[in-house]
Amino acid sequence: MPVLAMERLVKLIRSEIRSEKPYLVGETGERDCKLNQNECPFDLPHEIKSELLTRFEQIPFNRYPASQPFELMSVLEQHHKLQEGSVLVGNGSNDLTQTLALCFVSTGTRVVLPRPMFALYESVVRMHSGEIVPIAPLKSLDFDIDRIIEAASDPNVALTIVASPNNPTGLSVSFDAIERLCKSSPGFVVIDEAYHEFCPNPSSISLLDKYPNLIVMRTFSKAFGLAGIRIGYLLGHSRVMSEILKARLPFMVDRFSEITAIALVKRPDVIAERVQLLKQGTAHLTDELKSQPGVSVIPSTTNFVLFRTEMNGGTLAEKLTQKGVVVRKLSSYPELNGYLRVSSGTESENKAFITALKLVLKVDA
Q: In 3D, which of 76, 25, 38, 283 has the Cα closest to residue 166?
A: 38
**Model confidence over 33-59: pLDDT tens digits?**
999 999 999 999 999 999 999 999 999
On the question of pLDDT at 365 being above 80, the answer is no
DSSP annotation of 37 reads S
From residue 317, alpha-carbon distances to 210, 265, 268, 327, 362 in Å are 45, 36, 36, 6, 15
pLDDT band at 28 (very low <50, low <70, confident <90, very high): low
pLDDT at residue number 2: 79
- Measured CA to CA in angstroms, residue 230 lies from 66, 184, 254, 325 at distances of 17, 33, 10, 25
Whole-number average pLDDT of the chain: 95
Could you tell me the pLDDT band of residue 24, with boundaries at 50, 70 and 90? confident
Predicted TM-score of the model (pTM) = 0.95
Q: Rg for the chain (alpha carbons), in Å? A: 21
- Residue 212: helix, strand or coil by DSSP? coil
Given this model, what pLDDT does residue 4 score? 83
Euclidean distance between the first and the last CA atom of the chain, given in angstroms as a whole number:
56
pLDDT > 80? residue 27: no
Better-scored residue on pLDDT, 48 or 25? 48
pLDDT at 305 over 80: yes
Chain segment 271-284, per-residue pLDDT in tens: 999 999 999 999 99
**What is the amino acid identity at position 347?**
E
What CATH number belongs to 58-266?
A: 3.40.640.10
Question: Domain extents for the chain?
Answer: 25-40+269-364, 58-266
Cβ 216 vs Cβ 208: under 8 Å: yes
When the candidates are 3.90.1150.10, 3.40.1190.20, 3.90.1570.10, 3.40.50.720, the CATH number that belongs to 25-40+269-364 is: 3.90.1150.10
Q: How many other CB atoms sit within 10 Å of the CB of residue 271?
A: 17
- pLDDT higher than threshold 80 for residue 147: yes
Name the pLDDT band for 29 (thresholds 50, 70, 90).
low
